[in-house]
Amino acid sequence: MFTMTTPNVVILSAGRGFRMYPFTVDRPVTLCTVANVPLLQSLLRQIEPAGFHQVFLALPARAMGMKNLALPAVPHGFHLEVFSPKAPALGQVGNVREATSHNDGPTLVLYGDSFLSVDFLRLIECHQENRSKGALATILYHRPPDLRVPEKDGRTYHGVMSVDQNRCISRFVEKPKVEEILPGFDLANAAVFIVENELMNRAEFQAAKNFSFDIFEPSVRAGLPIYGCDIGSGFRFDAGGIARWQEVNIKVIRREINAPIPGTEILPSVWVGAETDARSLQIEPPVLVGDRVQVAATARIGPEVILGNCCRIGDGAVVRNSIMMDNCWVGAGARLDHCLVGPHCKINNGVELPRFTVLGAYAVVGSDAWPVWAEEKEYQYEHE
């Protein structure tokens, strides 16, 4: 019997993260941040209230040296088993099979690039009920606002499904043409599901790599009992591409997404983290400033800016419509507008970055001299 205390949980983040380059050069997608919180930490916080305390995290082989990066994101009491798939060519399905090879029972599968709000206890109860009807999987579904927004090929970005009155999925198509999405066939796969080993181990799915294309689509066509569960008041956003990641971050500080924001709201739509002196900051909201950030009194920040932990902004610098990850330095008189900056970057004195610049980790722009502040204070970088 599937219980809350003994589930398998697998978070998939073993891909190369091409959509998030250059941020994923030094880290997997799931350790990129939304509102200064790693996606992994957000996911673990989401599942904790439902009784999940052991999680398998699939990372690419190149990221295994970054295993320690994941540890600060793990809540107290969690056991995180990090592994690199032995056969990465077997895809998502192979990752889950490998992680759960010594475990019985269903598996909750999450995607590491998801930013979401889900009542996982309700999902478990829904699968319990569906399982009594023979369900081989329960897929969470939602109604994203961009469901009918076509990609370049005219297809929606989402998997689309319909369900009958018993919540059994009657049709499932991964990324159909937008014109195919009609009333009654307009529910999107939220990339969260509980799958039974019986389904993954069926003979016809032994070569399956992708859950949506290779298992769910053919299963529904064959009439196998695959069920759905409504996300209700929750949400799911894909934060695994540069444009989508930026959009999610900004929507959070605009309060268009109802998600926790770290720090103290000192003014409307201005959040400041621990050990950051915000008394003299020149800020145009919305702005999120992380922990242990130093901003010169003459610098101007905002609107729509997120500064990661341990950042330093010099005299007269201007940062607008930009996101900076942890441990970045911006020199005196530098200007950033509509820029995305990875961790540990250095933008030197007087540099004006072109609009829409994207910098990966440890990038240096300008002269080799470190930026100089009128008042020097010691700020320890957080070790990653």
Which residues face 230 on adjacent strands? 141
- Indicate the SS3 state at residue 250: helix
Distance CA 250, CA 226 (A): 36
Query: CB 264: neighbour CB atoms within 10 A?
Result: 12
Amino acid symbol at 26: D
Cα–Cα separations (whole angstroms), residue 112 to 14, 64, 142, 360: 9, 15, 18, 20
Q: pLDDT by residue for the chain (384 residues), tens digit each?
A: 444 445 689 999 988 888 999 998 878 899 999 999 999 999 998 998 888 878 999 988 776 666 677 777 777 777 888 888 888 778 999 999 999 887 778 999 999 999 999 999 999 999 999 999 999 999 999 999 999 999 999 999 999 999 999 999 999 999 999 999 999 999 999 999 999 999 999 999 999 999 999 999 999 999 999 999 999 999 999 999 999 999 999 999 999 999 999 999 999 999 999 999 877 789 999 999 999 999 999 999 999 999 999 999 999 999 999 999 999 999 999 999 999 999 999 999 999 999 999 999 999 999 755 554 444 443 333 333
8-242 and 262-365 in the same fold: no
Q: E strand or H helix at 130, and its extent?
A: helix 120-131
Angle ∠(60,119,176) on CA atoms, nearest 5? 60
Distance CA 149, CA 221 (A): 25
Cα–Cα separations (whole angstroms), residue 281 to 316, 318, 348: 12, 12, 20
| Residue-range domain boundaries for the chain | 8-242, 262-365
- Indicate the SS3 state at residue 214: helix
Distance CA 310, CA 308 (A): 7
- Paired tokens of 310: 């341990």
Residue with tokens 């702005």: 287
Burial code (b: 16+ CB inside 10 Å, e: under 16) for 53-70 equals: bebbbbbbeebeebeebb
CATH of domain 262-365: 2.160.10.10
Angle ∠(13,14,18) on CA atoms, nearest 5? 85
Model-wide pTM > 0.85 = yes
Q: E strand or H helix at 282, and its extent?
A: strand 282-283
Residue with tokens 């999450």: 110
Query: CB 243: neighbour CB atoms within 10 A?
Result: 9
Cα–Cα separations (whole angstroms), residue 109 to 1, 31, 51, 120: 18, 17, 15, 12
CATH of domain 8-242: 3.90.550.10
